């Protein structure tokens, strides 16, 4: 079975400050990890993914994420937050060693960036 935990329902940061949204995962094989963002009444937009290689991956809108195998984590980061980054963020995982291709999502973290 594969699962994702996002331990924080909400994260609040001031504009210009760095932000971190936390994610931990569980899979039996190699993890394929993804971050998505959702704006109100919209579908999810892909931000970035980790499949293999460099533990620090860069994605859209200045976001990056750090894969840590020993801690089974994949935290989303941005050096300087913008008010427009305020949205719902989802971490997702699939087992790279399996033959099923579904993604399992966390419950989401609501990021609010205050001006």
Partner 1 sequence: DTGVSQDPRHKITKRGQNVTFRCDPISEHNRLYWYRQTLGQGPEFLTYFQNEAQLEKSRLLSDRFSAERPKGSFSTLEIQRTEQGDSAMYLCASSLASGGNSPLHFGNGTRLTVT
* 69 sits near partner 1 (criterion: CB under 8 A): no
Which residue's CB is nearer to partner 1, number 42 or number 58? 42
Which residue's CB is nearer to partner 1, number 14 or number 25? 25
Closest distance to partner 1 from the beta carbon of 15 (Å): 26
For residue 10, the tally of other CB atoms under 10 A from its CB is 9
Which residue's CB is nearer to partner 1, number 17 or number 28? 28
* 74 sits near partner 1 (criterion: CB under 8 A): no
Q: Count how many Cα atoms sit within 13 Å of the Cα of residue 78 in the half-sphere of its side chain.
A: 26
Q: Which residue in 2, 50, 4 sits closest to 27, CA to CA?
A: 2
Number of residues engaging partner 1 in binding (CB under 8 A) = 25
Q: What distance in Å separates the CA atoms of residue 83 and residue 60, rounded to the nearest whole number? A: 16
């Amino acid at each position: 079975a594969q699962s994702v935990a996002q331990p924080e329902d909400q994260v609040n940061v001031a504009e210009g400050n760095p932000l971190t949204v936390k994610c931990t995962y569980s899979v039996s094989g190699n993890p394929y990890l993804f971050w998505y963002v959702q704006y109100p009444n919209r579908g999810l937009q892909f931000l970035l993914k980790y499949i293999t290689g460099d533990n620090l991956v860069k994605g859209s809108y200045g976001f990056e994420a750090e894969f840590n195998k020993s801690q089974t984590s994949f935290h989303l980061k941005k050096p300087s937050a913008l008010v427009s980054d305020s949205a719902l963020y989802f971490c997702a995982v699939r087992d790279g060693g399996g033959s099923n291709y579904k993604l399992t999502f966390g419950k989401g973290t609501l990021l609010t960036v205050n001006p």
